[in-house]
Amino acid sequence: MGVLDGCSVLDLAILVQGPQAAATLHDMGASVIKIELPGMGDLGRVIPVSPDDPRSPYYEACNRGKRSVTLDLRTQGGKSALERFVADADVLIHNFVPGTMEAWGLSYEHLSAINPRLVYATGSSFGPVGDKAGREGADSTGQSEGGLMFASRIDGGPPIMNGAVIADHVGCQNMVTGILAALLHRQTTGRGQRVDVSLVGGMIYAQASEMTYTLLTGRNPERIDSGHAFVPTLLHTVEAADGWIHLLSGTGPGWPVFAELLDRPDLAGDERFLALMLSSDARAELVAIIDEVFPTRTLAEWEAVLTGAGVRYGLVRDYEAIVADEAMYDNGYLRRVEHPDGDRVVIGTPIRMSETPLEPGAVAPELGQHTEEVLLEHGYEWDDITALRDEGVFG
């Protein structure tokens, strides 16, 4: 039994931010109906693995376990169908450009009048108000305008876009948090509410410490090599003989042991490195020593000696290495599931709950796969469905 068993979610969203929020609610036990425009459906469907492989990582990752209904919400029949769905729903999610739902006559005010208990969650790029509110954006917009590209620069170099759609996924988790809070509030008031999140807002919140540096000092933090902009500990990524490793510690009280590992016992008593926080000159000298020594051993060799010495570190792993790590399955971060196309591995969940465990779905639906089924559940007769089809509601 999931914590959201009995909760009904309407997912009108596209790509990642909204769909992944709805998928998370599904994992918690909610029933999710995905409403897609006829023809192309969710834009995530048309971003393939490659030109020769039409499977979509975006769509597969963010829509497992949902039921798909095609409705052209620009038609009267499509709008009426959604209104009927809303009457029975707990949550509606979308991440259309602000103003789109209003233009279709499906504003929060209109839908909440139909169902005052509705939690109406919307994700945008820039937020619901301000001079940028109506602008269309994407994950990279959140990264750029939310400061992450700047924060990822090294030694004053050019901005760097993160290789994953991190702004979308942060926005997703903010949306889930807002929805859960609104559902909790509804238990005492009986009323739903509107929840707004944005990509830019999520990136600012995710960099709260770094942004606060600027608020306190009036200047931007400047990152040096692969470390943190204003945390003067080691934090260094270095190449070993057969891969990369990230060092989180080694200075401070544990420095004499680390100095031995670096074949520099002569520095074991050096006060500069016995301090946890390093001066810029001391850090530069230590990084040069590390860069010279680490290529002489393999990752496995460094793992053994660093673990034994109590030095914190992390291997820099690619996705293939993560998929091959059984600990990821033991923790539920990845799952082996049965699938109509054969057994496969899917993304699991980062959340473990002792009483109400999350259950990620295995299969993302085909476009419109459940249209008739869902319409019948909501009181439509077959003649009604035929009339909607003749109107072009299904494309």
DSSP character string of 14-38: -TTHHHHHHHHHHHTT-EEEEEE-T
Q: What pTM, to 2 d.p., does this model score?
A: 0.94
Longest dimension (CA), the chain: 88
Counting other chains too, the contacts that 349-355 makes at CB distance below 8 Å and 24 or more residues apart are: 349/24, 349/27, 351/27, 353/3
What does the alpha-carbon distance between residue 199 and residue 98 come to, in Å, rounded to a whole number?
13
| Residue labelled with tokens 């796969």 | 369
**Nearest to 179, CA basis, from 43, 350, 10:** 10
**How many Cβ atoms are within 10 Å of 57's Cβ, its own excluded?**
12
Which two structure tokens, joined as six digits, stand for 9? Answer: 């979610």
Q: How far apart are CA 266 and CA 255, in angstroms?
A: 12
Question: Side-chain half-sphere of 315: how many Cα atoms within 13 Å?
Answer: 17
Distance CA 234, CA 277 (A): 8
Amino acid 240: pLDDT: 98
**Are the CB atoms for 143 and 161 separated by under 8 Å?**
yes
- Whose CA is closest to 257, among 306, 315, 313, 302? 306
Tell me the residue length of the chain.
395
Buried/exposed code over 96-108 (b: 16+ C-beta within 10 A; e: otherwise): bebebbeebebeb
Contact call for residues 312 and 234 (beta carbons, < 8 A): no
Per DSSP, helices labelled H in the chain are 17-27, 57-62, 76-87, 100-103, 108-114, 139-145, 148-151, 166-189, 199-206, 208-217, 255-261, 271-274, 280-293, 299-309, 319-323, 326-330, 371-377, 382-391
C-alpha 66/C-alpha 177 separation (Å) is 20
pLDDT per residue of the chain (395 residues) written in tens, 0 to 9: 899 999 999 999 999 999 999 999 999 999 999 999 999 999 999 999 999 999 999 999 999 999 999 999 999 999 999 999 999 999 999 999 999 999 999 999 999 999 999 999 999 999 999 999 989 999 999 999 999 999 999 888 999 999 999 999 999 999 999 999 999 999 999 999 999 999 999 999 999 999 999 999 999 998 877 788 888 788 899 999 999 999 998 888 999 999 999 999 999 999 999 988 888 899 999 999 999 999 999 999 999 999 999 999 999 999 999 999 999 999 999 999 887 778 889 999 999 999 999 999 878 999 999 999 999 999 999 999 999 999 999 98
Using an 8 Å Cβ cutoff, are 345 and 57 in contact?
no
Secondary structure of residue 291 in the 3-state scheme = helix
- 313-315 and 243-247 as β-strands: parallel, antiparallel, unpaired? antiparallel
φ, ψ for residue 10, nearest 5 deg: -105, 120
Reading the block at residue 368, the tokens are 């419109």
Q: Which residues pair with 93 in a beta bridge?
A: 11, 121
Find out whether 93 and 13 touch, Cβ atoms under 8 Å.
yes
Going along the chain from its start, the domains and CATH numbers come out as 8-207+365-391 (3.40.50.10540), 236-316 (3.30.1540.10)
Q: Do the beta carbons of residue 312 and residue 248 sit within 8 Å?
A: yes
Dihedral angle sign, alpha carbons of residues 317, 323, 326, 328: positive
